[in-house]
Structure 1
Amino acid sequence: MGIETQRENDGQTLVMSIQGFFDFSLHKDFRQAYKGVEGVRRYVIDLSQTEYMDSSALGMLLLLRESASDQGAEVALRNCSREVRKILEIANFQRLFTIEE
Structure 2
Amino acid sequence: MEASVSVNGSQATISLSGDFTFEGHRAFKEASQQILGRPEIATLVIDFDQVDYMDSAALGMLLLLRERLAHRPIVLANTRGTVRAVLDVANFGRLFDLS
Q: Which TM-score applies when normalising by structure 2?
A: 0.90
Deviation at 1:37, TM superposition (A): 3.3
Distance across 1 between alignment mates of 2:81 and 2:22: 21
In the alignment of these two chains, the number of paired residues is 96
Identity %: 39
After the TM superposition, list the runs of 4 or more consecutive aligned residues in structure 1 that deviate by more than 4 angstroms. Answer: none
More strand by share: 1
Q: Where in structure 2 are there 5+ consecutive unaligned residues?
A: none
**SS in structure 1 opposite 2:75?**
strand
How far 1:92 sits from its partner (Å)? 0.5
RMSD: 1.2
Q: In the alignment, residue 44 of structure 1 is paired with which amino acid?
A: V
Secondary structure at 1:28's aligned position in 2?
helix
TM-score w.r.t. the length of structure 1 is 0.88
Partner of 1:55: 56
Does 2:15 correspond to 1:17? yes
2:5 match: 5
**Residue segments in structure 1 that go unaligned for 5+ positions in a row:** none
